[in-house]
Amino acid sequence: FEARALWLLGYPEQAVRQSQASVTLARGLAHPFSLAYALTLAAILYQYRREWEQVQVQAEAAIALATEHGFPHWVAMSTIFRGRAVVEHGRATDGIDQMRWGIAAMRDTGSGIYQSYFPALLAEAYLHDGQIEEGLATVVEALAFVERTEERFYEAEVWRLKGELALRAGEKDKRGNGEEAEECFLKAIAVAQ
C-alpha cells in the first residue's frame, strides 16, 4: 500500500522501488498468501503506470501462485489485470473475456471492493476496442456503485473515461457529444481536486 500511496503522491519511481521491495519481502517470508497479495498489488501499480508488459508478468505470477494454493480472490483479481494487459497487446476479445470472468469471480468470492475500479478498467478496454456502447454502460454501472457505496478512489478516472466514451460515441453517430464529454471531464477534474 505504501507503493500505491507514493504513486498517488506523485513519486512514481519510489512507488516502483517500494513495490519491488514488497514483492521481495513476501518472497523471503515464504508465505504464499502474502506473495500473491504483493504480486497483485504490483500489477495494480504497473496498471496505473500503463506498463502493460509488467502488468501481465505480475498478474500471471499471482495467478499461478494463487491457483496452486487455492486463493480464488487473488486469481480473480489478477485475471482482471492480465486481461487488461492482453487487450493492450492486441487481443481485445480474449482480454475482455478474461476481465469479465475476473469481475464475476471477484463478486462470487463475496468481495465488495473495487467495484467501481474494475468496471472502469473494463470500460477502458471496451473503449480501446471501439465498443463504445458497452463502455458507456459499464461506466454508468461504476458510477452507480460509487454513489451507492462512496468507494471514490477511482471516481475521477471513471468520469474521465465517461467523457472519452461520450466523445467517441459522438464521432461514431455524427451527432457530437462534446457538451456531455466536457461535463464529464470537468467533473473528473473537480473530483480529482
What pTM does this model have? 0.93
The answer to whether residue 172 scores a pLDDT higher than 70 is no
**Confidence tier at 176 by pLDDT (50, 70, 90):** low
Of 174 and 111, more confident? 111
The answer to whether residue 73 scores a pLDDT higher than 90 is yes
Amino acid at 171: E
Average pLDDT, the chain: 95
The answer to whether residue 170 scores a pLDDT higher than 90 is no
The dihedral sign for the CA sequence 37, 42, 45, 50: negative
Q: Tell me what the mean pLDDT of segment 86-110 comes to.
A: 97
The answer to whether residue 171 scores a pLDDT higher than 90 is no
Burial environment of residue 51 by CB neighbours within 10 A (0 to 12, 13 to 18, 19 or more): middle
Short-list 41, 44, 50, 51, CA closest to 21: 41
Q: CA gyration radius for the chain?
A: 17
Q: Identify the pLDDT of residue 63.
A: 98
The answer to whether residue 89 scores a pLDDT higher than 90 is yes
Question: For the chain, how many residues are written?
Answer: 193
On whether the CB atoms of residues 113 and 145 are closer than 8 A, the answer is: no
Q: Tell me what the mean pLDDT of segment 92-114 comes to.
A: 95
Q: Tell me what the mean pLDDT of segment 48-57 comes to.
A: 97
The answer to whether residue 55 scores a pLDDT higher than 90 is yes
The answer to whether residue 154 scores a pLDDT higher than 70 is yes
Residues ≥6 apart with Cβ < 8 Å to 147: none
User: Rounded to an integer, what distance in angstroms lies between the CA atom of residue 15 and that of residue 25?
Assistant: 15
The answer to whether residue 67 scores a pLDDT higher than 90 is yes
User: Rounded to an integer, what distance in angstroms lies between the CA atom of residue 10 and that of residue 175?
Assistant: 38
Q: Identify the pLDDT of residue 178.
A: 84
